[in-house]
Structure 1
Amino acid sequence: MEGSTSRGRRVKHQIRKALNATEQCDLLAGHGVKFEICTKEQAEKFLQNNTYFFKIKAFDNNFYRDKDGNYSNLDFAYLQDLSTIDFEFRALILRMTGDIEHALRIRFNNLISRVNEDGYQVVRDYEYDQKEIYRKRSLQEFDPNSDYRNSVYTEGMIDKYLGQKPIWLFWETCSLNSLINCYNSFLQHRKFQDITYPLLYGVRLLRNAASHHNCLFIPPSSTINNTRILDNLMPILLSQRSRIREDTLQLIKSDPLIHDFSCVILSHINLVMSTGMRHYIVSSAETFLERIQRHSEWYQNPKSGCTHLVNQFDAIKLILSEYISFIKKLDINELSDEQQKLIHQPERKPVRHGPRLPSPRTRKRQKRGKQH
C-alpha cells in the first residue's frame, strides 16, 4: 500500500511539469496502457499534432483500472479512437445547435408577425421580466445593455439602434441563453405554447459544452433535472420496441449527454424548416454512424469495463437512426398521426378553462328569477 501511495505521488509530480510526447507515452505505459494497435511512435505523433495529454487522458475514465490504478485492457488506439469520435460528435452538435438557434429566431419573428406585435414592446417586456427575476433571486441589478454583445461585427448596428432596442437588434447581438429567456417572456406575455421551449435549455448546455471543446464521452459525474416533455416525445421518435430502446429511454432520465442530445434532436425536428439544413444533418448523421461503429468491438470486450460508454453509443446510434428515418418520412409526407406531434407548431393557450361563466346581466336575471 505504501509503495502504491509513493508511486501515486511520483505520478502527480510528473504531471506537474510539462511532459513531451515521449514522456507522456511512457507515463501511460507505466499504468498498463498498451501500444500494440497504435505504436508509440504513432501515439507520439498524435499527441503532438492532434490533441494534448490532458484531453486524451480524460477518456481513460471509461476503462477498468485495478486497485493500483493500472489498466487491464487499454491500448492507446482506444483513446485515439474515442478522441476522434468525440471531436466529430461535437462538430455534429455544433452544426445542429447552430441550425436550432437560427430557426428559433425565424420562429420568434413569425410569431411576432402573426400577432402583429410591436418588436420594441417585446424587448421592454423581457427587460421588465428579467429585472423581476433578478430582484426575486436577490441578484445584482439586471443590466439591460449587457445582452448586446459588442464586437467589430456588431458595434455599428449597436451604436445606431441601441437607444431604440428593436427585437431584431437583440437577436443579432444576444447570447443563446438570452434569446431563450426572451422567447420565454414573449410566450408568457402573448399566451403561446411551444413544445420546444422546455428543450432549449438542454440544447444550450450541450452547445456550450461542444463549443468549449469539453470531452463528452466521459462517465457522468452528476445527475440531471429531467425534462418531462422528453418522457412524452422521445417514445414517439423511438418507435421500434427493443431492449436498446428501453435502455435509451432510461438513459435520457439519468445521463446528461443522452438527455441533452435528445433535446437537440427533438428541437431540430420541430424548429428547422429548411430542407437543405435537414438533409445536411441526415448526411452528417449517416457519416457519424459509420464512424462510431468502426471499432465498436474494442469497447464491448468485458475486460475493458466500458459498459456505460457502450450504452451511450447504443443510445446515440438509435436516436440518430430514428432521426434519419423520421426526416425521410417527413420529406414524403408519410408521418403517422403520432409522429405529427413532434412537428406541432406553437399555438395560443386557451383563454378560458372549464365551462363558460354567465355574463353579469345573465347572473342578475337568474338572481331575480330565484327571488320570485
Structure 2
Amino acid sequence: MKRKLTTEELITHIKRKGITFNHMTKDENGKYEDLDFAYLTDLAAIDMQLRQFLLELCLDVEHGVKVLLLNRISDYLPNEDGYKIVQDFRNGPDFGSRQYELTIDNLKHNQYLKEMSRKYSQNPPVWVFLEIVSFGGLTAFTEYFCNNRKTTKKLEKISSLLRYCKNIRNACAHNTPILVNLFSNSDRLDKRPRIIQGISNNIGIPNQDTYYEKMVDLISLFYIHKSIQSELLGKFQYNKGQKLIQRFHRHDWYEKKKI
C-alpha cells in the first residue's frame, strides 16, 4: 500500500509543481508565474459560496414551477381530477415512464414519507407527485404538460429552459465546481439555443459569452427565477447576490492574472 504523505512532504510536492505560498507565510518561486496557493484556496471558497447561492435559486425555481403547474391545472383544467394527468405522463413518452418509476421508487424508500407512500405509491395525484418528484422528473413532467395540455406562453418558455437550469442544480447539489473552465473551448457550443439569444440581449450579456454551456445554464436559471419570483423573494436573493459579488472582490489578486 502506498504510504500517505506527511503535511510537509505534501507542501514540498506542491511547491515542486510551481505553486507558491507567499500569502500563506511561505516563499517559493515556481514554474507558474504569479500563482500562489492562496489564490487557489480563495477561488475554492468563492466557488463554494457561489454554488450555495445558485442552489438556493434552483430550489426557488423548483418550488415556483410546481406552483405554476398546480395553479394551471386547478384554474384552467376543471375537468382534471389530478390523477389522470399523472397516469397519462406515466403511459406517455418513454422518459415519462422512467421518471414516474424513479419517483415512485424513491417514495417507497424514503424513510420520512412512509405514510405518504402507503397511501399514494399505487396511484399518486398530481399534487403528491410534484411534491416528491426530482428536478429531472419535474423538467420531464413540465415538458409533457406543455406538449399535451392547454398552457401559457410563460410556462412554455420556462419549460424550454428548465433542462438547462437542471444542469446547474445538479452541479451545485453534487459540489461540482462552477468556475473551472467557465469559458473553456471544450464547452463552447457551435450553436446556442435560440431562446438564449433573446434573453441575453435583454439583460446585457455579451453575445460571445452565450456560446458556452455553463453560461447557457446560468442565463436560464436567472431568467426562470426572475419570471417566477415574488417581489420579496427577488429583493432577498438580489441582496444576497450583491454580497456575493462583494466577496468576489475581497482581493485584487485576479485583476491582471489568469488562473
1:222 and 2:187 aligned: yes
Q: Distance in 2 between matches of 1:40 and 1:276?
A: 47
Aligned to 1:305: 258
Aligned to 2:173: 211
Shift of 1:143: 7.5
Match of 1:250 among 199, 208, 212: 208
Q: Residue 68 of structure 2: SS of its match in structure 1? A: helix
- CA 156–226 in structure 1, closer or farther in 2 if over 3 Å, else same: farther
Q: Residue 187 of structure 2: SS of its match in structure 1? A: coil
Matches for 1:21-32 after TM superposition, within 5 Å: 21-32=7-18
Q: Distance in 2 between matches of 1:207 and 1:175?
A: 11
Q: Distance in 2 between matches of 1:146 and 1:268?
A: 26
Q: Residue 127 of structure 2: SS of its match in structure 1? A: helix
Q: Distance in 1 between matches of 2:99 and 2:58?
A: 27
Q: Is the 8 A contact 1:126 1:182 kept in 2?
A: yes
Q: Is the 8 A contact 2:146 2:159 kept in 1?
A: no
Q: Is the 8 A contact 1:119 1:167 kept in 2?
A: yes
Match of 1:284 among 240, 244, 247: 240
Identity of aligned residues (%): 25
Unaligned runs of 5+ in 2: none
How many matched pairs? 244
Aligned to 2:199: 233
Match of 1:102 among 38, 57, 63: 63
1:294 and 2:250 aligned: yes
Shift of 1:171: 1.1
Match of 1:195 among 149, 153, 157: 157
2:85 alignment partner AA: V
Q: Residue 254 of structure 2: SS of its match in structure 1? A: helix
Which structure has the greater CA radius of gyration?
Answer: 1
Shift of 1:300: 2.8
Q: Distance in 1 between matches of 2:138 and 2:50?
A: 25
Q: Distance in 2 between matches of 1:226 and 1:270?
A: 21
Matches for 1:90-239 after TM superposition, within 5 Å: 90-115=51-76, 116=78, 117-131=80-94, 142=98, 144-148=100-104, 149-150=106-107, 151-192=110-151, 193=153, 194-219=156-181, 220=184, 221-224=186-189, 226-238=192-204
CA deviation map 1:8-36 (0-9, x unaligned): xxxxxxxx754343333222211221111
Q: Is the 8 A contact 2:53 2:241 kept in 1?
A: yes
- CA 298–211 in structure 1, closer or farther in 2 if over 3 Å, else same: same
Q: Is the 8 A contact 2:165 2:220 kept in 1?
A: yes
1:283 alignment partner AA: N
Q: Residue 63 of structure 2: SS of its match in structure 1? A: helix
Give the alignment's Cα RMSD to 1 decimal. Answer: 2.3
- CA 108–17 in structure 1, closer or farther in 2 if over 3 Å, else same: farther
Q: Distance in 2 between matches of 1:284 and 1:89?
A: 10
- CA 21–277 in structure 1, closer or farther in 2 if over 3 Å, else same: farther
- CA 120–216 in structure 1, closer or farther in 2 if over 3 Å, else same: same
Shift of 1:179: 0.9
2:180 alignment partner AA: I
1:176 alignment partner AA: F
Unaligned runs of 5+ in 1: 1-15, 42-68, 135-140, 239-244, 307-372
1:250 alignment partner AA: Q
- Tell me the TM-score normalised to structure 1 length: 0.61
Q: Is the 8 A contact 1:130 1:142 kept in 2?
A: no
